[in-house]
Structure 1
Amino acid sequence: MAAGEGEDKKSQQHIVMLPFLAQGHLIPFLTLAGNLRRRFGAAVTVTIATTPLNARYLRAADPQNHIHIHELPFDSSDHDLPPAVENTEALPLRHVIKLFHASAALETPFRSLIRRISVADGRPPLCIISDVFTAWANDVAAATGTVNVVFSTGGAYGTAAYISLWQNLPHRTSSSDDGNFSLPGFPAAHQFHVSHLHPYLRAADGADDWSRFFQPQIGKSLKSFGWLCNTAAEIESLGFEILKNYVQKSVWCVGPLIIPARTAVAGIDSRTGKKFGVSPEDCLRWLDGQSEKSVLYISFGSQNTIGLSQMTELALGLEDSRFPFIWVLRPPAGFDVDGEFRREWLPAGFEERTARKNQGLLVRGWAPQVEILGHRSTAAFLSHCGWNSAVESLSQGVALIGWPLAAEQGYNCKLLAEEMGVCVELGRGAECEVGREEVRRVVETAAGGGRKAAEMRRRAAEVGRKIRAAVAEDGGGGSAWKALDDFIAAVGGRTNLIVP
């Protein structure tokens, strides 16, 4: 051993991360892990523990191997799931709850991992950073002499609403006839509506499969040492206060964790491992040919989709609006979401007409979203309002049209529309009726030249400046980096870790 090597090993701290098995969770965890390494260098070793197929994706997304990836054994066939299913993206929504319950099987091998690390390092890890949905890590931390910190990959407002709704099911006891109800932890003026809730939550009674998973996990998460949140307090001041008061723990806002620009190797997106449906070069070339602030970008994320009739009306409304658009197509609800897209799912002649007029670019597969949102021609983003997509859009000053479909997306859309003023809602849920005339009207409102569109763009640009300031690294860094320092100081108070 070289001189000083033992001392370096002794001063190095180990952080072990445990994301849930979903793309929208894995990517923020990997980005957070990268930020820890960038901020603290060799003083911190970061290990992400996940299942073999998700580990393969993470390794592909981190080709320089700055982050240690540990595989936790998992066989989906043991849990009444199809073979080789280790991610929600590979499942229809009605089966996703099985994967949630199956993920608890990771506790035993994860506990063994923490013990092995403790033996190898001569002490327990500095901390575990777990997902809200893997909060059984609190039990592992307590048994192995460390602490667990919960990382919410969503924003503060959406996270607070999500955990309060599942814990309290307030819509079931509301006496309101109009569907509105108050949410524990939120100001009385912030009324929610049953249509904000996913059908599984709307029907939950505390004894159903969804409640039996979410309620215990959220309860455990509230016993953690503290919370990390993928947001910045300056863009979500209300949400931050609500979340902090609800969890009664320290909350460190270490985001938004913006995904870096993507690069392609042989047509594959290096950040996701997905095959591009259009090359970034061809996509940007098409955008270059459009007028500034004229293009509508449409994507419902990696797992969500709308129904066939909704898809038809959306297509017709887009054509009526005459706005140029890029639409990331996925099979409609009820079909294999990862299957091939069929031409008959769109109105007859739609693709040919919009291509001939240079109005539409239809993408079957993955699109270079970061680059599209950052292009001068992009005017607005029709989105499911997943938090990762929302902050990617706002970081570029692009306003949104919201059509939330699942998870906490309805609460995100409520925040973006009612609190931030950067979004107008088109639809709510996979069951809602949206007609072509409503599509045309909303697109014109959000992407056109009127007062409403100008005000949304102004507000989005303001939020974008705050996001970029929060994640800036110069001069000691913005609030995201300072929150990371404060977090490490809190969990490392009994160690000799030196913050640069």
Structure 2
Amino acid sequence: MEETNSHVVLFPFPAHGHISPYLALATRLHQYQSDLIITVVSTPRNIDFIRSSLPISTSINLHSLPFSPADYGLPQSESTIDLLPHQFPIFFSATESLRPAFDEFIADISTRDSVCIISDMFFGWTVDVARKHKAFHSIFLGMTGFSGAVILSLWLNLPHNLTSSEQFSLPEYSEVIVNRSELPVYLLFANGKDPLSLFMQRQLSSFYKTDVIMLNAIKELDPSGLVMLRKTFKTLVLPMGPFLGAPNLSALPSGNDSQIIEWLDLLPPASVIYIAFGSQESINSKQMMELALALEESGRPFIWAIRPPIGFSVKDEFKDEWLPLGFKARTKKDNRGLFVHDWAPQVRILSHKSTGAFISHCGWNSVLESLYYGVPIIGWPLGADQPFNLRVLVQLGVCVKVVIRNKETSKVEKEKVKDIMEMVMGENEKAREIRKKTKEIRDVIRGTWKEEEGSSMKSFMEFLEVSKTGAK
């Protein structure tokens, strides 16, 4: 790309967890090369969400691509947030219908601009559009290198189908042993002929063809994962994290934000447990009951971004019967906890001095936010890359595992949860070591964007430079 009249097109997958780091990336691009034309592309309703999340004075352009989920029997929200489990494979395949309009958009701007496309891993077909119009292409991978390498190997090879064993190694990385319990539910039942397998293999094969793989990851935290990616895909791999959403990008506006912060202000430092399992997921009803009992018996204050258990839509009305009898009333009477039934202001909570631990599904955005503010993690992965993120966190010494769930039968007992809370938040040697490690990692992460010397800054500047040279 030339330094003038250069156009960067960012194309996130239509899910809030994917969109937020893209907006942080767009802001960073504009900050360091203000003469770039920057356009974020998405579907109409997601463009409306993005527009509401950006400053009014932003110079970032937005472009809508027509999308009709109803044609596939899907909700009209154009996002994964309203999907039932059986609808996810349909939604993924439906997003391929965006290709003609995207191709037309790139064809138009490439007649006057030098174009760089930064696409989501689930939009792998964009690499062919880039080649067609002689555009530079990069895939932005919103996870750490280890998790990315493992997930890509699992989907591209489906090694779990070649054995009946509970454990198996990966074809490219014989040193990595995967437990069947770590497989995402959809992958567990994938056989290479089902629609989701075919979709994933079509998209992920693009990693072999792209010009650059960008990661929302930290070089110092995952050097072996970066080696794995580079070994397999033999392209430029650049860790450039963290791309963190500003507070208004981490949650939709909520009227109870001020109430939450005022409540936190009254509590001692590092005393509160924050519980959230992401915008898409939940735990099963038995696990929810045990977690509530553990919280009550621990006596520790908490904020729980709570959603209906597995089997219900995340937007269903919450029923108190899913919790121990009288639990919410006792919590309210003692002023010992807060339940958030809508969107929680996660960054505000994690950045508050009173927050001492995060019971998390280990989604990578949440992980980066927690570590950036020095909050230890109690890991409860539910799917996708989360079990492999957990491995990285445990190795770093900043996380303790509760359970890995890919079945509703995964057992969680209140005593175990209570013991882990104490292990992370108590006045014991293990807790002190976890807090010490977490603060060390916090300092590493905050140093990655230092001018000239930061590892992510170096990767970012390398990306700007290499993108000028043009596509393969």
Secondary structure of residue in 2 paired with 1:471: coil
> 103-112 vs 433-442, which deviates more?
433-442
CA contact (8 A) 1:22 1:88 kept: yes
CA contact (8 A) 1:15 1:45 kept: yes
Gaps of 5+ in 2: none
Match of 2:377 in 1: 400
Secondary structure of residue in 2 paired with 1:483: helix
CA distance in 2, matches of 1:110, 1:118: 12
Q: 1:21 to 1:116 in 2, by over 3 A?
A: same
Match of 2:419 in 1: 441
Match of 1:300 in 2: 277
Would you say 1:142 and 2:135 are equivalent positions?
no
CA distance in 2, matches of 1:232, 1:10: 27
- What pairs up with 1:72-111 in 2 under 5 angstroms? 72-82=65-75, 84-111=76-103
1:452 to 407, 425, 430: 430
1:224 to 197, 210, 214: 210
Q: 1:308 to 1:139 in 2, by over 3 A?
A: same
Match of 2:349 in 1: 372
CA distance in 1, matches of 2:212, 2:252: 34
Secondary structure of residue in 1 paired with 2:52: helix
1:40 to 33, 45, 50: 33
1:27 to 20, 25, 36: 20
Match of 1:427 in 2: 403
Shift of 1:313: 1.1
Identity %: 39
Q: 1:299 to 1:77 in 2, by over 3 A?
A: same
CA contact (8 A) 1:277 1:367 kept: no
1:180-231 Cα deviation digits (max 9, x unpaired): 211233361x322010111221111111122111111111232111111001
Gaps of 5+ in 1: 1-8, 263-269, 496-500
1:272-316 Cα deviation digits (max 9, x unpaired): 56242622x221221122222221110001111111121111101
Shift of 1:477: 6.4
CA distance in 1, matches of 2:177, 2:382: 19
2:173 to 179, 183, 186: 186
State the one-letter code of the partner of 2:458.
K
Shift of 1:10: 8.3
Secondary structure of residue in 2 paired with 1:86: coil
1:85-108 Cα deviation digits (max 9, x unpaired): 311112122211111000100110
Would you say 1:66 and 2:59 are equivalent positions?
yes
1:446-475 Cα deviation digits (max 9, x unpaired): 221222211111111111111100134xx4
Would you say 1:469 and 2:447 are equivalent positions?
yes
1:103-135 Cα deviation digits (max 9, x unpaired): 10011000000111123x2x441x111111101
Match of 2:110 in 1: 118
Secondary structure of residue in 1 paired with 2:219: coil
Between the two proteins, the alignment pairs up a number of residues equal to: 467
CA contact (8 A) 2:361 2:382 kept: yes
CA distance in 2, matches of 1:287, 1:345: 26
Would you say 1:238 and 2:224 are equivalent positions?
yes
CA contact (8 A) 2:270 2:356 kept: yes
CA contact (8 A) 2:251 2:346 kept: no
Match of 2:191 in 1: 205
CA distance in 1, matches of 2:178, 2:255: 38
Once superposed, what is the RMSD of the aligned Cα atoms?
1.8
CA distance in 1, matches of 2:374, 2:66: 42
Shift of 1:65: 2.7
Shift of 1:494: 5.7
Would you say 1:387 and 2:364 are equivalent positions?
yes
CA distance in 2, matches of 1:27, 1:479: 22
Secondary structure of residue in 1 paired with 2:153: helix
Match of 2:454 in 1: 478
State the one-letter code of the partner of 1:227.
I
CA distance in 1, matches of 2:67, 2:470: 35
1:283 to 244, 255, 260: 260
Match of 1:344 in 2: 321
State the one-letter code of the partner of 1:412.
N
Moved over 6 A (4+): none
Match of 2:140 in 1: 151
CA distance in 2, matches of 1:438, 1:29: 37
Q: 1:441 to 1:150 in 2, by over 3 A?
A: same
CA distance in 2, matches of 1:109, 1:228: 25
Secondary structure of residue in 2 paired with 1:30: helix
Shift of 1:485: 1.0
Match of 1:266 in 2: none
Secondary structure of residue in 1 paired with 2:37: strand
Match of 1:491 in 2: 467
